[in-house]
Each structure stands twice: as C-alpha cells, then as structure tokens.
Amino acid sequence: MSTTSDNDITIVVEPSSGILRAVWARQMLTAGLIDSYYYLLDEAVKAGCRFWHLDLRLRIWPAATFKNWLIDTFAPLATQRLGGPVYVAYWLADQQQSRADDLFAEDMRQQLAKVGFYPAFFEKELDARAWLLRQQAQ
C-alpha cells in the first residue's frame, strides 16, 4: 500500500484491491479543489488505477463551476490518461446526499458516461467499496 499527500489531500493506493482512496484534509475553494483533482489524477496514473473511493464527508460542496469543469475538462482527461473508464465511489455525509442528487442529476451522469466517467454516491463506506469491487469484476 502506498500513501501520498500534498497537505490538502491524502491518497492511498491499495494494491490488493486496485482501489485508490482519497480524503481531503480541509475545506477548499474551487481552484484548490481543482488542483487537488489533478494531483489525484497524477497519482492514479502512476498506479494505473481507474477505481476511486473519494471521501467527501469533510469537504465543502463545490460551486457550479466545478461541475462544468468536471464534465468538460477533467472527466475526459482522466479517462484518456488512464486508458479506460473511471469508476468513482463518493462517500458522503448524510447532509450531503440531497446536494449530490441535485448536482449529479441524471443528465450530468449521462454526460459523464459519454466519456467513460461513472460516479456513484454512498452514505456507507462499505457500500462504496463493494460497488467498486463489483465494477472491477464486470
């Protein structure tokens, strides 16, 4: 297992499961959040990992500009650099679930799926992990 950190985000790659886990240490504005996603992608490329378990429980909910950047820039870049679809299990706090439903409405999921980026949201860590393992098996 390898762990890296840039003080804003800690990333652990689990070789036995092939899952990259990331947790943010603090809340940050959109620009810092975007930078942390590029760092996450660099670490995923180094590990050859397309299955991500992102812990959002302590993170502030991003602005709408983040949503547009994710669809238009990051998701296509991630799938291109990793050479295939990316499966992202977001672990949320209870109070974040309604925001996830709003932000990641069906139309956004369809846009992301066109480039092979598949987000799913979970309130329990074990459910998020189980979903990633099922995606690997398919």
How confident is the model at residue 131, as a pLDDT? 96
pLDDT tens track, the chain, 138 positions: 555 556 689 999 998 899 999 998 887 778 888 999 999 999 999 999 999 999 987 766 666 788 889 999 999 999 999 999 999 998 876 655 665 666 556 777 889 999 999 998 888 999 999 999 999 998
Closest CA to 88 of 47, 121, 124: 121
Q: Based on the structure, what is the number of domains in the chain?
A: 1
Tell how far CA 111 is from the center of its chain: 16
Give the three-state DSSP class for 29. coil
**What range defines the domain where residue 129 resides?**
2-137
State both tokens at 78: 């991630």
Angle between helices 30-47 and 75-82 (to 10 degrees): 10
pTM of the predicted model over 0.85: yes
| CATH number of the structural domain spanning residue 58 | 3.30.750.24
For the chain, give me the number of helices (H) and strands (E)? 6, 6
The secondary structure of 35-82 as a DSSP string is: HHHHHHHHHHHHHT--EEEEE-TTSPPPPHHHHHHIIIIIHHHHHHHH
Closest CA to 119 of 130, 108, 127: 108
